[in-house]
Each structure stands twice: as structure tokens, then as C-alpha cells.
Amino acid sequence: MTRLTTILLLLGLLAAGSSACSSGEADSAPTTTDGGNTVAAQAEVMASDIPVAYTPTGGYGQNFPAPVLATCTEPLAEGAPDMRGMWQAVAAEKDGVPLPPDSKALSTFQRIEQCGDRVTITAGGIIHDMRADGTELNGVHDVA
């Protein structure tokens, strides 16, 4: 069995307004008046309110699909590491030998979204949408 070791570099958080667990207001949030000032009421959107994302037949193609959890306002599950953002491997090796710069392992970008105990990883034409709740039932059920 070969071992592929990949070091990931965080390229940056998702752009404002499209990050997982965004704290932005929902499009249809009602407004209230506070001393003459209009204040947008924030509608809470839980991870379970957002439908599970599935990879389209044949993959999503060359361009990333829209973020799945962009409207979610639920905080990350307690103790969960915050890995949200765009990631790319900057170094990889196989059997202790560095892979060449043109290796597919070094050219793949991944978008990680998190909200509550939900995680989506979008990369290589596939959308992985799962719950990090310790159950097999809510894990990844990809079909390749």
C-alpha cells in the first residue's frame, strides 16, 4: 500500500457572503424599528434546514458549484476545528519521494464548509456532504 502525504495550505477564508456559517442576514429577514432606526432581524438558519447536497451526474465540471452552507448561521459544533476555506496541497510525497510539481495531488483545490456538525468538502468534481456526529449513517455515501 502506498502512502500519500499531503501538506495543506489555507489559501484564505471563503469570500464574505459565501462562507460557511456566515453571520450575514437572510434575504427574507424581517426588519424592526429601534428608536427610528431600521434594524434587520437575523433569522437563524440551522445546518439541518439546508438540504443535503449531492454530486451531479458526471460531476460538477470545471467550476465550483455555489457554496452549500452559505446561508447557515449555526455555530460550529463544540470542539470542532475550524477548517472552512479554500485549500490546496503545496507539497506531497509517495513512499517518501516528493511528487513532481505537475502532480494532480498538487493541482487540486478543495472548498471546505462547516456549520453546526455538518461538513461539506467540494473538490475534483465531487461534493461530499456529511455530518461529523460519529455515526456511519450520517457519514459520506459517495458513489463514484
User: Which band of pLDDT confidence, cut at 50, 70 and 90, is reported for residue 82?
Assistant: very high
Report the relative pairing of strands 85-94 and 97-98 from DSSP bridges: antiparallel
Looking at residues 89-96, what average pLDDT do you find?
A: 94
Structurally, how many domains does the chain consist of? 1
User: Which band of pLDDT confidence, cut at 50, 70 and 90, is reported for residue 33?
Assistant: low
Buried b (16+ CB within 10 A) or exposed e, 68-90: bbbbbbbebbeeeeebbbbbebe
In a domain, 104, yes or no: yes
Separation CA 126–CA 142 (nearest Å): 8
Domain membership of residue 52 as a residue range: 4-131
pTM above 0.75, yes or no: no
Looking at residues 41-52, what average pLDDT do you find?
A: 90
109: closest CA among 94, 135, 87? 87
In a domain, 24, yes or no: yes
In a domain, 16, yes or no: yes
In a domain, 81, yes or no: yes
Question: pLDDT at residue 40 above 60?
Answer: yes
Give the gyration radius of the chain's Cα atoms: 18
Mean confidence (pLDDT) of the chain:
77
Separation CA 14–CA 103 (nearest Å): 25
Least confident interval from 9-18, 94-103, 119-128: 9-18
Question: pLDDT at residue 97 above 70?
Answer: yes
Residue 110 confidence (pLDDT) = 96
